[in-house]
Amino acid sequence: MQKFKFVIDIQYKSNVRDPRGETIARVLREEGNIPIESIRIGKSIHGEVQAESKEQAEKLVIKACEELLVNPVTEEFKVEIK
Partner 1 sequence: MKAGVIVYPGSNCDRDAFYALKLSGFKPYFVSTKDNLDDFELVILPGGFSYGDYLRPGAVSARESSNVKKFAENGGLVLGICNGFQILVEMGLLPGGLLQNKNGKFICETVELEVVNNETPFTLMYKKGEVIKLPIAHGFGRYVIDKQPNVVFKYKEDVNGSDQNIAGIINGNILGMMPHPERAVEKIMGSDDGIKLFKSLYEYIRGGKK
H helix runs in 35-82, sequence order: 54-64
**With respect to partner 1, which residue has the nearer C-beta, 16 or 34?**
16
Single out the residue of 74, 78, 80, 82 in contact with partner 1 (rule: CB under 8 A). 74
Binding mask 39-68 for partner 1 (x = CB under 8 A): ----------------------------xx
Contact at 8 Å (CB) between 25 and 37? Answer: yes
Contact at 8 Å (CB) between 28 and 34? Answer: yes
Q: Which of 51, 43, 40 is nearest to 82 (CA)?
A: 51
Chain residues that interact with partner 1, rule: CB under 8 A: 12, 16-17, 19-20, 23, 67-69, 71, 73-74
